[in-house]
Amino acid sequence: MIATWLALVLAVQLSLPQLFDSALGASRQGDFGRALPLWDQVLELAPDDAAAWSNRGNVQLALGDPIAAIADQDRAIALDPDSPDPHLNRGTAEEALQRWDAAAADYRWILERHSEAGEPRASALYNLGNVLGSRGDWTAARTSFVAAADARPGFAMARSSAALSAFELGDLEVAERELRALIRRHPLFADARAALTALLWRQGSRGEAESHWAAASGLDPRYRQEEWLLSVRRWPPVPVEALQQFLALAG
């Protein structure tokens, strides 16, 4: 309540551009409780600002209200029909509700209109890969993740997801090669180290698996959490099972 009151006091003292910047800053800092009333104030002053609606929708989703998030993204799309951002953001909210068809439609809308490499194509391909994986089509998901990585050089999470999809499909040699390459380029990338831990364990290389796990768990302890891996990070089930077996025996 104090944060909300302070945000409202601040809002009446700022011009619209300053208020927009303050709301955006709070959103980027993850201070969503402060950001929401600031975006409310922006929209009171500028109800036709599509970017403000879309940004408020992102805050609504971060605060656990995907229905409100979708409503805000709908408003943004109505105001700026050609912008890819609210489609990408609405797709993320639809995923939170497991509305896979709706999310995929938003991502494909972007892909049909943005054939060039870079953003927003890379993010749409990556998110579409997550949707396809959630529906159990890991072959199509792998293709989408590879395309996302090709569309944005350096997109490490897309390459890790592609390797995890290869692991799921039994293409262990390709998965291992890609994960090792990722770790060489990004030594502090916990996802690739945790994935390689699971893969090496499945192949019987316990010693090296333990070495990579020591690094991964120190970088990000969430990789111990099966539900987080499946529901938030969206690993495929085979790598998750392998990592859980490793953790059960490694202590």
The DSSP string of 4-26 is HHHHHHHHHTS-HHHHHHHHHHH
Note whether residue 22 is domain-resident. yes
End-to-end CA distance of the chain: 43
What's the pLDDT at 11? 47
What's the pLDDT at 250? 77
CA distances from 199 to 75, 150, 164, 172 (A): 45, 24, 9, 8
Note whether residue 175 is domain-resident. yes
Q: Which of 113, 144, 176 is the last residue in one of the domains?
A: 113
Note whether residue 121 is domain-resident. no
Taking residue 192's Cβ as centre, other Cβ atoms within 10 Å add up to 27
Note whether residue 124 is domain-resident. no
Domain residues for the domain of 33 are: 1-113
Q: Which of 83, 113, 143 is the last residue in one of the domains?
A: 113
Whether 106 and 54 map to the same domain: the answer is: yes
Sign of CA dihedral 85, 35, 228, 208: positive
Whether 86 and 137 map to the same domain: the answer is: no
Nearest-angstrom CA–CA distance, 85 and 124 = 10
CATH assignment of the domain containing 169 = 1.25.40.10
Residues of the chain with pLDDT under 50: 5, 9, 11
What's the pLDDT at 3? 52
The pair of three-digit structure tokens given for residue 61, joined into one six-digit string: 């989703």
Note whether residue 152 is domain-resident. yes
Nearest-angstrom CA–CA distance, 148 and 162 = 9
- HSE-up of 51 (CA within 13 Å, CB side)? 6
When divided into structural domains, the chain yields a total of 2
Q: Which of 58, 79, 113 is the last residue in one of the domains?
A: 113
Instruction: Give the position of tokens 């111990």.
Output: 224
Note whether residue 5 is domain-resident. yes
